[in-house]
Amino acid sequence: VQLQASGGGSVQAGGSLRLSCAASGRTYDNRLMGWFRRAPGTEREFVAAVTWSGNNTYYADSVKGRFSISTDNAENTIYLQMNSLKPEDTARYYCAADRISRRNIHYALGRRYDYWGRGTLVTVSS
């Protein structure tokens, strides 16, 4: 699976961005897609995840109510709509794809995911 994230940019606090992650070469055993982020000097952190069916979504507490994750199966693409952005949302955002063999690992853990994109940078100014 190859993942290509896009949609990052620079916005002012309170603004919005929509990130996209196009997945090529999807396999039958990829069920869950996630977004993670890493700010300079910090650890990677979980942001949100979604099953390809769209029936299950998961969010970090820090983004709940502001971010929304969704899928487009026809386009093999997932989206992360980010509203009410804050300076602390500044980070490089990565999308990731799991494999069903790792389904017993919590969705918020990076080791759940087998494939990672190169990331897209989001900068929020105050």
Determine the Cα angle at 24 with ends 4 and 57, to 5°.
Answer: 75
pLDDT at 101: 87
Give tens-digit pLDDT for 5-17: 999 999 999 999 9
In angstroms, the first-to-last Cα distance of the chain is 37
pLDDT at 124: 98
The pLDDT-based confidence of 25 (bands split at 50, 70, 90) is: confident
Give tens-digit pLDDT for 27-53: 778 889 999 999 999 999 999 999 998
What's the chain's average pLDDT? Answer: 95
Mean pLDDT of 64-68: 98
